[in-house]
Amino acid sequence: MAIGVFDSGVGGLTIHHRLVETFPDADFVYLADQANAPYGGKPGEEIVDLTRDGCSRLFDEGCSLVVLACNTAASVALRRLQQTWLPGHRRALGRPINVLGIVVPTIEAATGMPWAHEAEPRGDKVEKLDVLGVFATPATARSRVYEIEIDKRRQDVAVFTEPCPELARMIETGAPRADLAGVIASHVQALTRRIGRAPDRAVLGCTHYEIVADLFQAALAPGTPLIRQPEATATALKDYLLRRPEFDVGASGARKFLTTGEPGAQNGLVEAFWGAPLRFEAA
């Protein structure tokens, strides 16, 4: 058995990297749906179908758990799949399987509250003091998941999401860092204008953006804390596995990388982030 990690492309490697450091003995299968990337501009139904196909492929590879290392899939498809598809698929396979996301751990890290916490409704008078900027794909921004779920838990945090329509595709295709820096600076400026001041903290709400986290850090006001999704996801998975020992995640440290796109090496930007050459097999 193994842990599956799924993304539309290379962004999920940022989560995978941290998970491998946290669980060095576990077996991992990474699946990049590069034939269909990017997901961020697609309609919701298509994102649901593609995410289900990706999870199904990872369960066929022997995974017991699949981590959706993709904000777009997690915010648009996860709840639907958990409610409508997963119970039947679990019965069909006859073994414990589950799909987990990265939005819940990120919100727990951003609010400092466990997911089960609900804020006392305090009406309209709450003064929102802490301004959180979220950079995300258009589909994640449209879902308003960060605004809605953070407001339920912390009414003193104001969330503003900036959709970045081209950024994941540029990172996926290895665009030059100078071009990425320009696009990132323009999104940071647009968000700052919309808020009326710089955000106090920021979430890189697309796993691709972690590959260029330093460019976000440089464009934001000096010292702006970034809420790190890889760290938050690894911490949440550790807790989950302690509570749910029935999930077998393997123990031989095997690593497999699959793509629905072109097998072979990844672009320089990705390999620089990863710190070594990476070879993907055909899914």
Instruction: By CB under 6 A, tell whether 233 contacts ligand DGL.
Output: no
Instruction: By CB under 6 A, tell whether 161 contacts ligand DGL.
Output: no
Catalytic residue among 55, 63, 70, 164: 70
Q: Which of 26, 37, 81, 258 binds ligand DGL (CB under 6 A)?
A: 37
Query: Is 145 or 206 the residue whose CB approaches ligand DGL more closely?
Result: 206
Q: CA separation (Å) from 161 to 62, 177, 239, 277?
A: 36, 23, 28, 34
Strands 226-227 and 201-204: parallel
Rounded to 10 deg, the angle between the 86-93 and 44-60 helix axes is 20
Q: Which of 6, 7, 19, 110 binds ligand DGL (CB under 6 A)?
A: 7
Instruction: By CB under 6 A, tell whether 40 contacts ligand DGL.
Output: yes
- In the sheet with 255-259, reading across from the earlier edge strand, the strands are 98-100, 63-68, 2-7, 28-32, 255-259, 279-282, 264-265
Q: Which two tokens stand for residue 100?
A: 């987990």
CA atoms within 13 A on the CB side of 28: 22
Q: Which two tokens stand for residue 72?
A: 């777009």
Restricted to residues 75-134, the positions that interact with ligand DGL (CB under 6 A) are none
Q: Which of 28, 208, 236, 283 binds ligand DGL (CB under 6 A)?
A: 208
Instruction: By CB under 6 A, tell whether 11 contacts ligand DGL.
Output: yes
C-alpha 202/C-alpha 162 separation (Å) is: 11
Q: Among the candidate windows 1-9, 52-60, 111-119, 255-263, which touches ligand DGL by CB under 6 A?
A: 1-9
Query: Is 38 or 133 the residue whose CB approaches ligand DGL more closely?
Result: 38
Catalytic residue among 55, 63, 164, 206: 206
Per rule CB under 6 A, count of chain residues that contact ligand DGL: 17
Q: Which two tokens stand for residue 93?
A: 């396979």
Q: Which of 55, 81, 145, 168 binds ligand DGL (CB under 6 A)?
A: 168
User: Which of 39, 51, 61, 72 is closest to 6 using CA atoms?
Assistant: 51
Instruction: By CB under 6 A, tell whether 72 contacts ligand DGL.
Output: yes
Instruction: By CB under 6 A, tell whether 140 contacts ligand DGL.
Output: yes
Q: Among the candidate windows 6-14, 57-65, 127-135, 142-150, which touches ligand DGL by CB under 6 A?
A: 6-14
Is residue 63 within 8 Å of 3, Cβ to Cβ? Answer: yes
63 belongs to the catalytic site: no
Q: Which residues are catalytic?
A: 70, 206
